[in-house]
């Protein structure tokens, strides 16, 4: 199957013409939604069961506002500082509807209080110490934080490429720790497919692990998997959330992959 890439920036974008940029973003959003719809139907799934998470790292708040006006309300960032600044700027614009923010990048424990304060869903909990830090911050602030456990699909020795996350064998124990932590709500699992090759086997392993976790934690129903280049395989495997950046926004100003939770270079 040939997947068309995002429409390149219109020449007028360089001249600062917002209408052309808005039209480009709208076309990309239609294309991505159509891909999700087609993949879900091909897998015998309801397209409405797959949510689109727009990864807006390094892109301006104005681009987020355009997509929000078109009904895309879930956005993700890799870094707490960028999430905080962008969320604050957009919250001051009365024309922008209320947005739901997500953090998909690696999170340091000293940033736990900040991300809890923002009310973001955290997709990248990969160790018990981080879960404990989030729980402490949630308790101090009187909040409940939605959390996904990140799974490393890179193989026992990282032979498929390190993509971040807890080793699969540690995930059930980590899920139990999150589920038992006051102030945290376990929503499911998240992962990035290994670099290169067919992502389907890795997503299949992820889906099996998710079913195991869900048996012990019925509320952990979310499976966050799939990016611009492999969302079809993720939807086929049962993803309920796909994280898309490049196919929506176009090439990033920086040579990094905002869809990769590690914030390191990777295809998108």
Domains of the chain: 13-249 (3.20.20.10)
CA 64, distance to chain mean position in Å, is 15
Q: Between helices 171-180 and 200-216, what is the axis angle to 10°? A: 40
pLDDT for res 121? 99
pLDDT for res 67? 98
pTM for this entry = 0.87
pLDDT for res 41? 99
pLDDT for res 256? 44
DSSP state for residue 98 in the 8-state scheme: P
pLDDT for res 12? 37
pLDDT for res 255? 44
Tell me the backbone φ, ψ of residue 189, rounded to 5 degrees.
-120, 155
pLDDT for res 252? 77
Query: What is each CA distance from 257 to 13, 141, 155, 212, 252, in whole angstroms?
Result: 22, 32, 21, 30, 8
The encoded tokens of residue 33 equal 């939604």
Length of the chain: 268
Instruction: Give 124-138 as a DSSP string.
Output: EE-SHHHHHHHHHHH
Tell me the backbone φ, ψ of residue 150, rounded to 5 degrees.
-85, 135
pLDDT for res 175? 99
pLDDT for res 6? 61
pLDDT for res 9? 52
Q: How far apart are CA 186 and CA 175, in angstroms?
A: 7
Which mean pLDDT values do the consecutive 10-residue runs of the chain (268 residues) have?
Answer: 49 59 97 99 98 97 97 98 98 97 96 98 98 98 98 68 84 98 98 90 97 98 98 98 97 55 38
pLDDT for res 10? 42
| Strands (DSSP E) found in the chain | 51-55, 74-77, 100-103, 121-125, 145-151, 184-191, 222-224, 241-244
Tell which residue, 78, 75, 103, has the closest CA to residue 89.
75
Q: How far apart are CA 193 and CA 207, in angstroms?
A: 12
């Amino acid at each position: 199957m040939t997947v068309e890439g995002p429409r390149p920036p219109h020449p007028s974008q360089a001249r600062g013409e917002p209408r052309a940029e808005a039209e480009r973003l709208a076309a990309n959003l239609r294309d991505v939604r159509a891909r999700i719809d087609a993949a879900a139907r091909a897998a015998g799934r309801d397209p409405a069961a797959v949510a689109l998470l727009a990864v807006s790292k390094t892109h301006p708040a104005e681009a987020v506002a355009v997509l929000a006006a078109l009904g895309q309300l879930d956005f993700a960032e890799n870094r707490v500082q960028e999430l905080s600044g962008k969320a604050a700027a957009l919250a001051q614009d009365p024309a922008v509807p209320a947005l739901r923010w997500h953090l998909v990048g690696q999170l340091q424990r000293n940033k736990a209080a900040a991300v809890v304060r923002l009310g973001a869903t955290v997709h990248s909990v990969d160790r018990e110490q981080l879960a404990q830090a989030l729980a402490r911050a949630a308790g101090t602030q009187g909040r409940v934080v939605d959390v996904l456990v990140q799974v490393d699909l890179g193989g026992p020795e990282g032979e498929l490429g390190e993509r971040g996350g807890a080793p699969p064998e540690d995930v059930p124990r980590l899920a139990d720790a999150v589920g038992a932590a006051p102030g945290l709500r376990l929503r499911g699992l998240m992962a990035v497919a290994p670099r290169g090759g067919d992502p389907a086997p890795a997503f299949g392993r992820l889906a099996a692990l998710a079913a195991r976790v869900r048996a012990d934690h019925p509320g952990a129903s979310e499976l966050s998997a799939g990016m611009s280049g492999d969302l079809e395989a993720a939807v086929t495997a049962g993803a309920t959330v796909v994280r898309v950046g490049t196919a929506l926004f176009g090439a990033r100003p920086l040579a990094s992959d905002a869809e990769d939770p590690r914030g390191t270079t990777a295809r998108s």
